[in-house]
Amino acid sequence: MEVKIGVQYAPRELVMESAQSPAEIERVVTEAIAGQGTLSLTDEKGRRIIVPVDKVAYVEIAEASTRAVGFVAR
């Protein structure tokens, strides 16, 4: 899953690939917001992204898309 996290006052969003399902990511985000602590997610390589909940502008969860390389006949 591709997860994009918009952070207030940051010019760019945080983008990560996660092995978790969309439902699991949504649950983690919802629990973090309810707890008013930090949002903590782990990407496919084991790196942790930790963002204070009060600075989160949005979280976008989407299927990871594969990019076509070269010429593609459709």
All structural domains of the chain: 2-62 (2.30.30)
Separation between Cα atoms, residue 3 and residue 18, nearest integer Å = 7
Confidence of residue 28 (pLDDT cuts 50, 70, 90): very high
* Residue 66 scores a pLDDT above 90: no
Tell me: pLDDT of 52 over 90: yes
Rounded-to-integer distance, Cα 52 and Cα 61, Å: 18
Mean pLDDT on 26-49: 91
The 10s digit of each residue's pLDDT in 8-17 is 999 999 999 9
Beta carbons within 10 angstroms of residue 28's beta carbon: 18
Q: In what order do the strands lie in the sheet with 14-17?
A: 14-17, 2-7, 56-62
pTM of the model: 0.77
DSSP 66: P
Query: In the predicted model, is pLDDT for residue 68 greater than 90?
Result: no
Q: How many residues does the chain have?
A: 74
